[in-house]
Chain A
Amino acid sequence: MSNGAVAEPVRDPGLQPERTRLAWRRTTLSGTVAAVLAMKTALHGRVSVVGIVVCALCFGLWLGFLALAHRRIRVLAASAEPTALAPRHATATVLFTVALAACGAALVF
């Protein structure tokens, strides 16, 4: 009986890669909420050139964040024992966050 069993891929019982993948998803959701609020602020009241430019900038930042998250999620999904996050990758996500906050500071004034 047992010799007919198909060898299953090794799976971490703690589901660490899956949990990490979902953590990235949650983070992109938080980023989406922040970006939507930023774009609402940018287009509030009279529509101006500056408002449209900042809105496009926030959208670009959101896209960049999404692309980084997607890249990491693909790495996590591809192997049972994924490699650790690269510092450059982590720094890039933080820089997108900081840039969003900088846009906010510019808009609030």
Chain B
Amino acid sequence: MHVIEFVRNARLWFAPQQIRREGGTPDYRFSLANERTFLAWLRTALALIGGGFAVDQFLPDLRWGWRVGLALALLAAGVLCSLRAVNHWVRCERAMRRGEDLPVSRFPAVLSIVVAIVAVAMVVVVLVGWEG
């Protein structure tokens, strides 16, 4: 379900005229606010990607599997976050043009829970690493 909708939205990413055909143009301030939200998510994605590079570069003592696994997980999270950013932006823009409610999303909650789990895991790793 979600994947099908994602693919359908993906066509809109490249077709500005298709969005502009629907509904009326909203107040420019709402569009700019939507754009800033998109950019904030893009920064989150860039931070995750930068974190992936940082793990690879600055944790040379970590075992190869852990290091590569953690770096790839962060890079993948960054990709997911950036794709979701543009998708959510398109959905919000379309909802505003049609005068509908803005779309709701589970993504922020999922991302924060994942970050919390990784943070707890890092605390455990640091504590165990110091004792061992």
Known contacts: A38-B53, A84-B93, A87-B13. The answer to whether A19 contacts B36 by CB under 8 A is: yes
- Within 76-106 of A, Cβ neighbours of B (below 8 Å) are at 81-88, 90-91, 93-94, 97-98, 100-102, 104-105
Which residues 23-53 in B have Cβ within 8 Å of A in the complex?
25, 28-29, 31-36, 38-40, 42-43, 45-47, 49-50, 52-53
Q: Contact: A90 with B56, CB < 8 Å?
A: no
A104 touches B12 (CB 8 A): no
In whole angstroms, how far apart are the Cα atoms of A75 and B70 in the complex? 39
Q: How far is the CB of B19 from chain A (nearest CB, A)?
A: 6
Residues of A near B36 (CB, < 8 A) are: 19-20, 23
**In whole angstroms, what is the CA distance A29 to B76 when docked?**
21
Does B95 lie at the interface of the complex (its beta carbon under 8 Å from any beta carbon of A)? no
- Any A CB within 8 A of the CB of B129: no
B38 touches A90 (CB 8 A): yes
Pick the interface stretch among B81-89, B106-114, B120-128.
B81-89
Interface residues of chain A: helix, strand, loop or mixed (majority)? helix
**Do A87 and B49 contact each other (CB < 8 Å), given the known contacts A27-B39, A94-B42?**
no
Q: How many residues on the B side are at the interface (Cβ–Cβ under 8 A)?
A: 44
Assembly CA distance A91 to B75 (angstroms): 18
| A97-B35 in contact (CB<8A) | no
A83→B27 CA distance, assembly (Å): 10
Alpha-carbon gap, A94 to B82, bound state (A):
6
Given contacts A87-B13, A97-B78, A108 and B32 within 8 Å (CB-CB): no
Q: Chain A residues near B50 (CB, 8 Å)?
A: 30, 33-34, 37
For residues 43 through 101 of chain A, which have their beta carbon under 8 Å from a beta carbon of chain B?
Answer: 44, 81-88, 90-91, 93-94, 97-98, 100-101
- Interface positions of B (Cβ within 8 A of A): 12-16, 19, 25, 28-29, 31-36, 38-40, 42-43, 45-47, 49-50, 52-54, 56-57, 68, 71-72, 75-76, 78-79, 82-83, 85-86, 89-90, 93
Interface residues of A (CB under 8 A from B): 12, 14, 16-17, 19-20, 23-24, 26-27, 30-31, 33-34, 37-38, 40-41, 44, 81-88, 90-91, 93-94, 97-98, 100-102, 104-105, 107-109
